[in-house]
């Protein structure tokens, strides 16, 4: 089964085509053009389409899409191949849910901590039985820089420098960079260490736009052998959901 998966985030749209479980095409775009979807469908002979969006309203005609595709709009009631124990399912970010499904597809019989470093940084855990219990949400990198500038009268808006490697800053700009870049790494390491203390066999998967920054730091740490950077994790999860629905009709 060939599926088109679309993840509409806060700042970008990611699309991918899968043949079964194999990724055969992927692209990051600024917005969806419905005509382009039909071109992709024609080129790859797509049958299934799933969309996950952080926005309630999207700029496409979903009724028309359902006439051309086996169409699914991911929501809290969509059938998924994991057990979801999150108590407020209607408020659970669909990208978080799809990422956990993707993690279960990659490591179906292992404990996994998913770190999604996007607009926000989320930490989500699923166990070796495929049960999702919940996670944590904290401000993302750019959000932290913007917040310090917005909520103070004197701190400047500092650009994120992924190569910043000082422990302490010698200027206000460096001090802000130190606080943000070191702070998020210490935060992530804290979540990882806490999880490893509970389940030492846990795998860690990184995804999201700022995942390369985390990956570069973890490659030089004790976590290097545990961490997998999978930029298409949400899309893998969406594809898994489409296949699951098709197999359980």
Residues in the chain: 249
Residues 6 or more apart in contact with residue 217 via CB below 8 angstroms: 185
Is 247 labeled as catalytic in the residue annotation?
A: no
Best CA proximity match to 21, nearest among 104, 115, 83, 116: 104
Q: What is the DSSP letter of 92?
A: S
Q: Are 13 and 28 in contact (CB under 8 A)?
A: yes
Tell me the CA distances in angstroms from 175 to 26, 150, 180, one per residue in order: 38, 17, 9
Which has the closest alpha carbon to 231: 112, 117, 101? 117
What's the rounded Cα separation, in Å, for the pair 153 and 36? 46
Helix (H, G, I), strand (E, B) or coil at 126: strand
| Pairing, β 203-207 against β 112-117 | parallel
Q: Catalytic residue among 95, 116, 124, 127, which?
A: 95
Report whether 109 contacts 86 (CB < 8 A): no
What is the Cα–Cα distance from 136 to 244, expressed in whole angstroms? 27
Return the active site residues.
95
């Amino acid at each position: 089964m060939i599926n088109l998966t679309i993840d509409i985030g806060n700042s970008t749209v990611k699309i991918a085509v899968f043949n079964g479980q194999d990724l055969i095409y992927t692209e990051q775009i600024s917005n969806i053009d419905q005509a382009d979807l039909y071109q992709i469908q024609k080129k790859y002979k797509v049958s299934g389409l799933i969309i996950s969006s952080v926005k309630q309203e999207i700029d496409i005609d979903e009724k028309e899409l359902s006439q051309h595709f086996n169409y699914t709009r991911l929501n809290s009631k969509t059938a998924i191949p994991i057990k979801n124990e999150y108590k407020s399912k209607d408020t659970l970010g669909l990208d978080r849910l799809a990422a956990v499904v993707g993690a279960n597809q990659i490591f179906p019989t292992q404990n996994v901590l998913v770190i999604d470093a996007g607009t926000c940084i989320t930490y989500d855990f699923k166990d070796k039985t495929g049960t999702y219990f919940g996670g944590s949400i904290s401000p993302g990198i750019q959000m932290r820089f913007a917040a310090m500038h917005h909520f103070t009268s004197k701190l400047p808006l500092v650009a994120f420098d992924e190569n910043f490697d000082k422990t302490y800053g010698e200027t206000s700009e460096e001090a802000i960079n130190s606080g943000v870049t070191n702070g998020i790494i210490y935060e992530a390491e804290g979540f990882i260490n806490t999880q490893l203390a509970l389940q030492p066999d846990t795998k860690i998967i990184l995804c999201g736009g700022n995942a390369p920054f985390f990956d570069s730091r973890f490659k030089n740490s004790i976590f290097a052998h545990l961490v997998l950077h999978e930029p298409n994790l949400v899309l893998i999860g969406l594809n898994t959901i489409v296949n699951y629905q098709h197999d359980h009709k």
